[in-house]
Structure 1
């Protein structure tokens, strides 16, 4: 499992999240029980050279931003063009990819934008409603409790207290609200992966139907709709 994200020099909770991912990786990658079965990495200095090697090698592209935030960008189009299947929410470029490759070749999960808006209207991020999801889901509770009890911080319970507090009392991006749907779709993904022919067919159809996202088509679209000019030669 490879994590990637933008730099967050002035975003305290994002920096905490990055640190947590790296510490989770440290624990998992040194656990003899999962050696050879599971590894976690967060590459530093993600650039074009790394992308050229990483993207074609990817089986599953996770674009799990909250619906309506337009945080799912063009990077996932590159994965689809190279045969990776996508698991994601109805956000940003995910919507376009799903329309092009077909809903049956895309792993969809999570709330829709209207459902997100309705949950905000109920005061999800101001009334601590995320705690209800924590209390009702044993798997989610166990995961957060491991962060809180110092499992990933050498026993120090204070290291991620601000992050845990945000999850349980604000959770602006509704990660806890979408958690169960995410875990359920992962079970479906694992079942599909056990069928190599089915997985390969879905991957080929992703490639075949992703031509729309080519740079040539994109630039031509910009020329016609935005710059209102034609070829110079």
Structure 2
């Protein structure tokens, strides 16, 4: 991952990811079962390694923000199952691979708009969900920052008093969905079957189909057939263009 130089909140979130990693990766109770690794300066070249090795693709943007794009296609083409919201390319992927082969959670666009219209209050979700409250309290209490309660305060304040992307509203549904993921992952045959179907049904997202669609719908370009004249092969098996002979 990466963040634009002036994107303060994104850079602070990256810091939080790495700080959580430092705690978990050094915890004797879990370090042999769970690791967090943050790949810096993510690029297409690195993607060639990451996409085939992934089991689960997390495409968890808020529905309607259109933040899920080509990355989730590449993961699915390489056999990773997707957990995600009804946002961006997730919608089409789910239609192609089948709802039963996609882990869906969260508000849809209409529900998110209605909740915002009714004056969304993230604090209420924090107050009434013990698991969520515990997670947020660990961050704001300095557990991941060596006791520094100010380092991640901007993230906590944003979540509790604004939460533009409605993370707290989707939190419990996400946790429940992750349990379904864990249960299925324990069934190797079922997981493998879903993985194969994800790859097999992703043909719609090939570059050939995409370029053809752009040609027809955006560029208004029509095919231009080219007639290729056959030439008889000489006995020595070498063809020369007339202008190059001499």
Gaps of 5+ in 1: none
| Displacement of 1:230 | 3.2
TM-score w.r.t. the length of structure 1 is: 0.94
Report the count of equivalent residues. 225
Q: 2:73, 2:58 → 1: CA distance?
A: 12
Matches within 5 A, 1:1-233: 4=1, 6-124=2-120, 129-231=121-223, 233=226
Q: 1:201, 1:193 → 2: CA distance?
A: 11
Q: In the TM superposition, what whole-angstrom CA distance separates every residue of 1:63-106 from its partner, at most 9, and x where no partner exists?
A: 00000000011110011100000000000000000000000000
Q: 1:147, 1:64 → 2: CA distance?
A: 21
Q: 1:115, 1:231 → 2: CA distance?
A: 43
Q: In the TM superposition, what whole-angstrom CA distance separates every residue of 1:96-123 from its partner, at most 9, and x where no partner exists?
A: 0000000000000000101100111112
Gaps of 5+ in 2: 227-246
TM-score w.r.t. the length of structure 2 is: 0.89
Query: Does 187-196 or 23-32 show the bigger shift?
Result: 23-32
| Displacement of 1:231 | 4.2
The alignment partner of 2:29 has SS state of: helix
Supply the RMSD in Å over aligned alpha carbons: 1.1
Q: In the TM superposition, what whole-angstrom CA distance separates every residue of 1:18-67 from its partner, at most 9, and x where no partner exists?
A: 11111111111111111221111111111122100110000000000000
What is residue 234 of structure 2 aligned with on the other side? none
Q: 1:159, 1:31 → 2: CA distance?
A: 21
Query: Does 198-207 or 22-31 show the bigger shift?
Result: 22-31
Q: 1:58, 1:231 → 2: CA distance?
A: 38
Query: Does 12-21 or 88-97 show the bigger shift?
Result: 12-21
Query: Quick check: which has more Rg, 1 or 2?
Result: 2
Q: 2:66, 2:159 → 1: CA distance?
A: 21
The alignment partner of 1:87 has SS state of: strand
Q: 1:199, 1:185 → 2: CA distance?
A: 15
The alignment partner of 1:33 has SS state of: coil
Q: 2:206, 2:67 → 1: CA distance?
A: 20
